[in-house]
Amino acid sequence: MTEISHAGTFAIAGRTVKRMGYGAMQLAGRGVFGPPKDRPGAVAVLRAAVESGIDHIDTSDFYGPHVTNQIIREALHPYRDDLLIVTKIGALRGADGSWNPAYSAAELTGAVHDNLRNLGLDVLDIVNLRIMFDVHGPAEGSIEAPLTVLAELQRQGLVRHIGLSNVTRTQIAQGRGITDIVCVQNQYNLAHRNDDALIDELAASGTAYVPFFPLGGFTPLQSTTLSDVAARLGATPMQVALAWLLRRAPNILLIPGTKSVAHLRDNLAAASIDLPPEAVAALDRIG
């Protein structure tokens, strides 16, 4: 049993993955734009992740753009049969690094082909439609047009399964009327708890919830309570933040991001942390 197996598994997209995965966004350059300073280091992180038993990697072709997927290909292609690579479409990067909505049929189709080419795949396992009505958080609005395009690409055999990202409960319901939704990827962590009720609803329907920014993202979580709990357990605050997410709900799949093998190993060790009830109660109060 590998260390991360302690966190358990979850059934998604017709297979079973470990609940501790890896998010590849941090492997691009500063601001998720352009190449990283240390490309061999990025390759090493991905190889260490898979060697440690990780079988779920989150990415997008708009990281870089193209750069992160090309590094994944360099590091891991040909891919292990049990590796689930989840990507996302719905945005394009401006020349200044800006993140812009890209929902036309041509843009969505182009994005699927960009992912296929740069990852070196014939079919994408899961594609999340990233909703950009408000780039910083879910905002209401119909997702019918872009999701119908993605569902058509699924019918053509380019995409196996579909998920949604940065969405509201209403949009998930609308999406389920169009196609099967296997996962939802929204911002959620110890301090950002807007989706508490949604997570429980998705758990009841067996749908994976994949929190992005599990460690706080570009501004890692800082909390005296978190630091105190971590010190009492002999763990790091980041490890405790991940352990809390694993305990929060069985349908939560983790994709913490790092460009450092040392941080990767720290994060994987969080799978072995059993939080005592008093620690959970203290951490719950942070949100």
Active site residues: 63
Nearer to ligand NAP, 154 or 186 (CB): 186
Query: In the set 212, 226, 235, 253, which binds ligand NAP (CB under 6 A)?
Result: 212
Nearer to ligand NAP, 116 or 132 (CB): 132
Closest among 215, 213, 188 to 199, alpha carbons compared:
188
Nearer to ligand NAP, 151 or 261 (CB): 261
Find the shortest distance in angstroms from Cβ 166 to ligand NAP: 5
User: Going along the chain, which residue ranges are E strands?
Assistant: 9-12, 15-18, 22-23, 56-58, 84-89, 91-93, 99-101, 124-130, 159-165, 181-185, 208-209
Query: Which H or E run contains 268?
Result: helix 261-269
Find the shortest distance in angstroms from Cβ 89 to ligand NAP: 11
Residues sharing a CB contact under 8 Å with residue 277, sequence separation 6 or more, in sequence order: none
- Residue 148: HSE in the Cβ half-sphere, 13 Å Cα cutoff: 6
- Does 260 bind ligand NAP (CB under 6 A)? Our answer is yes
3-state secondary structure of 231: helix
Structure letter (DSSP) for residue 260? -
Query: In the set 256, 269, 271, 273, which binds ligand NAP (CB under 6 A)?
Result: 256
Closest among 163, 74, 164 to 118, alpha carbons compared:
74
Residues sharing a CB contact under 8 Å with residue 32, sequence separation 6 or more, in sequence order: 25, 26, 63, 64, 68, 97
- Does 213 bind ligand NAP (CB under 6 A)? Our answer is yes
Query: In the set 12, 258, 268, 269, which binds ligand NAP (CB under 6 A)?
Result: 258
x/- binding map, residues 32-71, to ligand NAP, per CB under 6 A?
--------------------------x-------------
Cβ atoms of 10 and 19 closer than 8 Å: yes
Nearer to ligand NAP, 65 or 216 (CB): 216
Query: In the set 6, 18, 19, 88, which binds ligand NAP (CB under 6 A)?
Result: 88
Stretch 114-173 residues interacting with ligand NAP (CB under 6 A): 130, 165-166
Position with the least CB separation from ligand NAP: 257
By CB under 6 A, the count of residues binding ligand NAP is 27
Stretch 8-27 residues interacting with ligand NAP (CB under 6 A): 23-26
